[in-house]
Amino acid sequence: MRTDTLSYKYPYQANRAAIYRVLVQEQLAYFQRTDPSIKSLSPGTKIIAQLKTKMSKQPVQDYMMVKDMVPNELFQLETQQPAGSIIQTFKFMKNRRGQAVLAYSEQNVFDNNRSQTNFMMFGLLYKFFYNRGVRKRMAYLDNLAQTATD
Q: State the pLDDT at residue 131.
A: 81
pTM (predicted TM-score): 0.84
Which of 1, 7, 46 minimizes the C-alpha distance to 134?
Answer: 7
Question: What are the boundaries of each domain within the chain?
Answer: 5-149
Confidence of residue 1 (pLDDT cuts 50, 70, 90): very low
CATH architecture assignment, domain 5-149: 2-Layer Sandwich (3.30)
Q: Give the number of other Cβ atoms within 10 Å of residue 85's Cβ.
A: 17
Residue 118 has pLDDT above 90, yes or no: no
61-96 confidence digits (pLDDT tens): 789 999 999 999 999 999 987 778 889 999 999 999
> Would you mind telling me the total number of residues written for the chain in this entry?
150
Task: List Cα–Cα distances, 50 to 43, 53, 104, 128, 142, in angstroms.
Answer: 21, 10, 22, 25, 27
* Nearest to 47, CA basis, from 66, 61, 63: 63
Strands (E), the chain: 5-11, 46-52, 59-70, 74-81, 84-94, 100-110
Query: Across all residues in the chain, what is the average pLDDT?
Result: 85
